């Protein structure tokens, strides 16, 4: 078992740009998104590539919302197995209905890496974040 301080020492040297956005592992399931890892990464933005009935687990969402630096949590689908409080804001969910159109989430990085933009083109929603 790796202690959290040892894990932090291994992760912290990663480039700051790399750590800006976290793509949840394994559809955002509990078994693949250890809270210690998420706290060590402390991303500004998280993207959960879940399905309406697969992933996007409530504990992962709760951990992400508790992070100090988090400014945006995006989900590919609304998790229909949980409550609205255990999903991100509707504007940050690409597909709110279970029978969906397959809308996507797009991440674009500015050429000099000073900022990046997360958008949901089908909803005409776009938000920019400055890198640390």
Q: 73 has which bridge partners?
A: 46
pLDDT at 12 over 70: no
Q: In whole angstroms, what is the distance from residue 47 CA to residue 24 CA? A: 6
Q: In whole angstroms, what is the distance from residue 53 CA to residue 18 CA? A: 29
pLDDT score for 6: 55
What Å distances lie between residue 70 and 40, 61, 73, 76, CA to CA? 12, 11, 8, 18
Q: Phi then psi for 30, rounded to 5 degrees?
A: -55, -40
Q: What is the pTM of this model?
A: 0.85
Q: In whole angstroms, what is the distance from residue 74 CA to residue 92 CA? A: 5
Share of the chain above pLDDT 70, in %: 86
pLDDT 10s digits, 24-68: 888 988 888 999 999 999 999 999 999 999 999 999 999 999 999
Query: C-alpha angle 31/13/127, rounded to 5°?
Result: 70
Q: In whole angstroms, what is the distance from residue 51 CA to residue 95 CA? A: 9
């Amino acid at each position: 078992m790796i202690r959290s301080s040892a894990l932090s020492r291994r992760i912290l040297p990663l480039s700051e740009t790399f750590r800006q956005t976290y793509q949840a592992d394994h559809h955002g399931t509990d078994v693949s998104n250890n809270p210690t890892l998420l706290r060590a990464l402390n991303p500004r933005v998280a993207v959960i590539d879940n399905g309406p009935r697969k992933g996007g687990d409530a504990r992962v969402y709760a951990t992400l919302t508790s992070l100090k630096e988090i400014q945006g949590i995006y989900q590919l689908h609304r998790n229909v197995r949980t409550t609205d409080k255990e999903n991100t804001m509707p504007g940050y969910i690409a597909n709110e209905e279970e029978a969906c159109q397959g809308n996507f989430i797009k991440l674009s990085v500015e050429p000099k890496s000073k900022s990046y933009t997360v958008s949901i083109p089908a909803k005409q929603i776009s938000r920019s974040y400055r890198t640390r």
